[in-house]
Amino acid sequence: MPSPFPQRFGRWALVAGASEGLGEAFAIGLARRGMNLVLIARRAELLDALATRLRADHAIEVRTLALDLAGEAWQDNVRALAAELDLGLGVYNAAYSFVGALLDRPLADAERVVDVNARGPLRFVHALAPAMRTRGRGAIVLMSSLAGFQGSPRLAAYAASKAFITVLGESLWAELRPHGVEVLVSCAGAIRTPGYLATATRDAPGTLDPGVVAERTLKAIGKGPVVVPGAMNKVARFFLGRMLTRRAAVRVMAKSTADLS
C-alpha cells in the first residue's frame, strides 16, 4: 500500500483553479488525505467559503490566493510559497474555454485560452518543480481532456491547448521522475462542473461527477504519465485513437460538441 500523501510528497498541496467544480473536488480529496492546502482562483468569496469548510471538516491549514491565472503575477506568489512551505503536490486544474467556431469569436478569447491553458501550466511547473526536484520528492497533476486527442470542432482553441498539456505532461513525467517527482496528466471526458452544466443540454456519454474524476486521478499518481478516468472514457479514447481515422474521429467529435451552447 502506498505511503500517506504527506509522507510521500510533503505536508502542503496547491490547487490552481480551486473555487468550485473539479478544483473543489481535488481540494476535498487532498484534505481527506491530510494535506494542508493552498487554494488559488479568481473569486475570493468562493475560495474563502471552501477554505472555511475544509478547516472545519478536516482540521487542516488552508491558505487562499485570489489571482487571475491568465496573468503572470501569480507565478511569483507560487514560487515564494514553494520556498516557504513544503509544497509537495500541485494540481493545475484552471481552464478557460468558449464554445463556437473559432473565427466567430474575437482573437482575444482564443488568446485567453492560451494564457490560462498553455502558458499557465508552464508557469505552474516552473514555479513548483524546481524545489520538488531539489528535495527529491513531489508530484504535479495537470488536467487535460479527451478533446485534446483529436480536432474538436467548436472547441478548437480549447482542444489544442489540451493537446499541449498532454504532451507537456508526458515529457515532464520522463524528465522529472528520475529526480523523485511524479507527473500525471488526467485526460477527462465531460465532467458535471458548473461550467459544463451551463453549456450542455444533456450529459455526454461517460460524463462523471467531479469527485469521481478527482479521486481516480489522485489514486493514479505514480502510475503515469496519463490517466483517463472512467471506463466509458477509456473505451472512447481507444475507439477514437486506434479504430478510426483522424478524419472520422474529428467527425465524431463534431457530433458530440454540437450539443454544447
What are the residue ranges of helices labelled H in the chain? 5-9, 21-32, 44-58, 73-84, 107-114, 120-135, 156-176, 194-199, 210-219, 231-238, 246-257
**Domains of the chain and any CATH numbers:** 7-257 (3.40.50.720)
| pLDDT value at residue 72 | 82
- 72, 123 in Cβ contact below 8 A? yes
Other beta carbons within 10 Å of 46: 18
78, 56, 75: which is closest to 12 by C-alpha? Answer: 78
pLDDT tens for the chain, 261 residues long, are 577 999 999 999 999 999 899 999 999 999 999 999 999 999 999 999 999 999 999 999 999 999 999 888 888 999 999 889 989 999 999 999 999 999 999 999 999 999 999 999 999 999 999 999 999 999 999 999 999 999 999 999 999 999 999 999 999 999 999 999 999 999 999 898 877 666 666 777 888 999 999 999 999 999 989 999 999 999 999 989 889 999 999 999 998 888 787
Look at the chain and count its residues: 261
Name the grid cell of 186.
488526467
Of these residues, 92, 96, 162, 196, which one is catalytic?
A: 162
238, 18, 79: which is closest to 149 by C-alpha? Answer: 238
| pLDDT value at residue 1 | 58
Is 162 among the catalytic positions?
Answer: yes
Is 158 among the catalytic positions?
Answer: yes
Of these residues, 96, 158, 196, 219, which one is catalytic?
A: 158
Q: Which amino acid is at 37?
A: L
| pLDDT value at residue 195 | 73
Q: What is the DSSP string of 64-116?
A: EEE--TTSSHHHHHHHHHHHHS-EEEEEE-------S-GGGS-HHHHHHHHII
| pLDDT value at residue 13 | 98
Instruction: Please state, in angstroms and rounded to a whole number, the distance separating the CA atoms of residues 33 and 28.
Output: 9
| pLDDT value at residue 241 | 87
32, 38, 26: which is closest to 6 by C-alpha? Answer: 32
